[in-house]
């Protein structure tokens, strides 16, 4: 979402069913400024230099591209996501409409009417079908975040059938990206996250991309084989944050 708003200059609708808008903005602040999230949230004291960095660099930059990030908090259904996306697309039609819709996450969204509450698989199938229609109608990217099922949560290399609730999640998606903590299975890879791509409809399926996890600064960064060979686990976890744009 941050990449679309900041780097691509596109409008983003982000529906978070777990975090508040303030919590999401705090993560933007940490990711872009490089100031640890714990300082921003008040868990740790904010250093004077970090305060100056936020005020003098992050805030002016965020005023420009942050206006393209539309965060919505609270539990919603697909119908509400669709209405909000259509409204934004219409309001900003002269400047390109909307580029990205994110839903975090599918399994806790409100279920659509007319579907038995006892058939979670049918409810999820209806939701993914509606989100696919939204992407096609607005010509935008839709990212629907999902949980793993119990088997997938333990798998070394998860597959589409490890998505929780319904096979429709993998069938309706153009791209399936499954993230796993590499350090959980191999302690020498602490601070690394593998992104498995079992399905890429218009590309090459079956590849895996490795990222350096910077959870304390709320972002990830690419990590190639060369970087891995010269970085310790501590370095991977505490690698530099992205520069301002």
Q: How buried is residue 222: exposed, middle or buried, by Cβ count under 10 Å (0-12/13-18/19+)? A: exposed
Q: Higher model confidence: residue 203 or residue 116?
A: 203
142: its two tokens: 């839709």
The DSSP string of 163-228 is: BSS-THHHHH-SEEEEEEEGGGT-GGGTTEEEEEEEEETTS--SEEEEEEEEGGGTEEEE--HHHH
pLDDT at 98: 95
Rounded to whole angstroms, the Cα distance separating 152 from 160 reads 9
Q: Which residue has the higher pLDDT, 116 or 64?
A: 64
User: What pLDDT is recorded for position 149?
Assistant: 86
What is the C-alpha to C-alpha distance for residues 34 and 47, in angstroms, rounded to an integer?
12
User: Pick from 215, 210, 214: which is nearest to 196 by CA?
Assistant: 210
Judged by phi (left if over 0) then psi (alpha if -120 to 50, else beta), residue 221 lies in beta
Q: Specify the pLDDT at position 243.
A: 35
pLDDT averaged over every residue in the chain: 85
pLDDT classification of 132: cutoffs 50, 70, 90: very high
Q: Single out the residue of 234, 241, 188, 243 nearest to residue 218, CA to CA.
A: 241
Residues 40-53: tens digit of each pLDDT: 988 788 888 888 88
Whether the predicted model's global pTM rises above the 0.85 cut: no
Task: Return the structure tokens found at 207.
Answer: 């590849």
| Best CA proximity match to 51, nearest among 64, 36, 62, 61 | 36
Q: What is the pLDDT, as a whole number, of residue 226?
A: 52
Residues 72-101, mean pLDDT to the nearest whole number: 93
The pLDDT of residue 152 is 82
* Whether residue 225 has pLDDT greater than 80: no
User: Is the preceding peptide bond at 153 cis, omega within 30 degrees of 0?
Assistant: no
Give the mean pLDDT of 133-151.
92
Least confident of 130-139, 194-203, 224-233: 224-233
CA nearest 12: which of 66, 63, 58? 66
Q: What share of the chain in percent tops pLDDT 70?
A: 89
| Higher per-residue confidence, 172 vs 85 | 85
Q: Which residues fall within 8 angstroms of residue 203, CB to CB, at 6 or more apart?
A: 175
How far, CA to CA in Å, does 72 sit from each of 19, 231, 235?
9, 38, 34
- Give 147-204 pLDDT, tens digit per residue: 888 888 888 888 888 888 878 888 889 999 999 988 888 888 888 899 999 999 989 9
Q: Is the pLDDT of residue 231 over 80?
A: no
């Amino acid at each position: 979402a941050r990449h679309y708003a900041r780097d691509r200059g596109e409008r983003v609708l982000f529906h978070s069913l777990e975090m508040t808008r303030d919590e999401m903005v705090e993560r933007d602040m940490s990711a872009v400024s490089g100031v640890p999230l714990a300082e921003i949230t008040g868990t740790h004291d904010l250093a004077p230099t970090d305060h100056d960095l936020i005020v003098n660099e992050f805030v002016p930059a965020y005023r420009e591209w942050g206006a393209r990030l539309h965060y919505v908090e609270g539990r919603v259904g697909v119908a509400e996501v669709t209405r909000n996306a259509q409204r934004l697309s219409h309001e900003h039609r002269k400047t390109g409409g909307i580029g990205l819709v994110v839903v975090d996450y599918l399994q806790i969204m409100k279920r659509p009417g007319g579907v038995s509450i006892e058939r979670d698989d049918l409810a999820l199938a209806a939701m993914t079908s509606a989100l696919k229609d939204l992407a096609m109608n607005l010509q935008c990217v839709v990212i629907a975040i999902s949980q793993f099922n119990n088997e997938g949560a333990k798998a070394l290399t998860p597959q589409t059938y490890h998505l929780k609730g319904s096979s429709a999640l993998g069938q309706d998606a153009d791209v399936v990206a499954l993230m796993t903590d590499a350090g959980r299975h191999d302690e020498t890879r602490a601070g690394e996250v593998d992104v498995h791509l079992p399905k890429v409809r218009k590309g090459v399926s079956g590849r895996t991309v490795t990222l350096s996890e910077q959870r304390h600064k709320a972002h990830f960064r690419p990590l190639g084989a060369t970087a891995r060979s010269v970085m310790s686990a501590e370095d991977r976890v505490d690698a530099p944050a992205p520069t301002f744009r």
